[in-house]
Amino acid sequence: MRRSELGRGGFEVSAIGLGCWGMSGSYGPADEAESVATLHHALDRGVTLIDTADSYGDDGHNERLLGRALDGRRHEAVLATKTGFVRRTAADGTTAVEVDGRPGRIRSACEASLARLRTEVIDLYYLHRADPDVPIEESVGAMAELVAAGKVRAIGLSEVSEATLRRAHAAHPIAALQSEYSPWTREPEAAVMPACRELGIAFVPFSPLGRGFLTGTLTDPRRLARGDWRASNARFAGGNLARNLALLRPLEEVARPHGAKPGQVALAWVLSRGERVIPIPGMKRRTHLDENAAAADIGLTPEEIARLDAAFPPGAAAGDRYDPGQARWLGR
């Protein structure tokens, strides 16, 4: 697996990383033994960037899983985790997800993540979303203190605006910005990705396969497993899904002469966007990891890239990527 630089003056990571959200049930039931085997297989193949968050699964399940899986192999991984999302329980027993970027909360969350991950240092610590009630300089300041204390090596942000990114970077160097990005989610190209290139910040696309849609295997939402997050997502619903299915044909046609699958071409397209564009497709099976890792070896021609650019213009996907409640924290 070839390497990419994580931020200017940062450290090297694999060109494709491993997103671990699906290992905690977000896309239907997960097999813990297979998840651990997938993590080990990733390291064996040279996939070193491993991405999690303290909000993945109940009670830090995903971080605990990684802590166990990486026991004895921690030195082989560049470990990224995130904080910011919190679940609060109201007096009537209902729960709601909120964003908390207060410095004290960030410091305590980091300590909890270190314990769950069984590590002395987090390689890349992200603020999962910018807190609208806390100046970004205050949140980043707390993260900078963690760097100075040797508990974090580098810091990142997720799903913030260009303006917020620049303010944060002025307060402390930002190594990476994580946002959803794929052929059917191209909004970051307008402002955020150019800012990353200018400032020497790595851009880390999550869901580079369109939450699995661009693999061409999710054609019937009725086949989604119980608890699968996509069952309530607008892009996989009714008429939106029917319109989105037409987008798969160009991927299939470009994939054919390469002897590749549509998802591999989608990943190759993402990789073509720049040296410091490091996608982290979600994977919870070894077979998926092998398919995705092989995408790094697909060389799309300029003509093929132009064809996919034209087939997937910004806004091509039908349906919002988040419901209004989840979308309110995007691009702050």
Q: What is the pLDDT of residue 275?
A: 85
Distance, CA of 285 to CA of 144 (rounded, Å)? 35
Q: Report residue 35 CA to chain centroid gap.
A: 17
Q: What is the pLDDT of residue 278?
A: 97
Per-residue pLDDT tens digits for 163-222: 999 999 999 999 999 999 999 999 999 999 999 999 999 999 999 999 989 998 888 777
Query: For residue 260, what are its two tokens?
Result: 């590749």
Report in angstroms the alpha-carbon separations of 172 from 33, 138, 200, 216, 319: 39, 11, 13, 41, 36
Residue 8 is given by DSSP the state T
CB 207 within 8 A of CB 17: no
Report in angstroms the alpha-carbon separations of 2 from 6, 106, 173, 202: 13, 33, 25, 16
Which residues is 88 bridged to in the sheet? 96
pLDDT in tens, the chain (332 residues): 889 998 876 789 999 999 999 999 777 778 999 999 999 999 999 999 999 999 999 899 999 999 999 999 999 999 999 999 998 877 777 778 899 999 999 999 999 999 999 999 999 999 999 999 999 999 999 999 999 999 999 999 999 999 999 999 999 999 999 999 999 999 999 999 999 999 999 999 999 999 989 998 888 777 777 778 788 888 888 789 888 998 999 999 999 999 999 999 999 999 999 989 999 999 999 999 999 999 999 999 999 999 999 999 998 998 988 778 787 888 88
Q: What is the fold of 3-327?
A: TIM Barrel (3.20.20)
Listed in sequence order, the residues at least 6 apart from 72 whose beta carbon sits closer than 8 Å to its beta carbon are none
Catalytic residue positions? 56
Helix, strand, coil share (%) of the chain residues, nearest 5: 45, 20, 35
Q: Which residue carries 């087939």 as its tokens?
A: 311
Q: Of 72, 83, 64, which is closest to residue 125 (Cα–Cα)?
A: 83
Report in angstroms the alpha-carbon separations of 80 from 40, 50, 113, 210: 16, 6, 11, 21
Distance, CA of 120 to CA of 135 (rounded, Å)? 28
Q: What is the pLDDT of residue 227?
A: 78
Cα atoms in the Cβ-side hemisphere of radius 13 Å centred on 217: 9
Burial of 58 (C-beta count, 10 Å sphere; 0-12/13-18/19+): exposed
* Alpha helices in the chain, H assignment, sequence order: 32-44, 61-69, 103-117, 136-148, 162-171, 192-199, 238-245, 248-255, 262-271, 286-294, 302-311, 324-327
Amino acid at 64: R
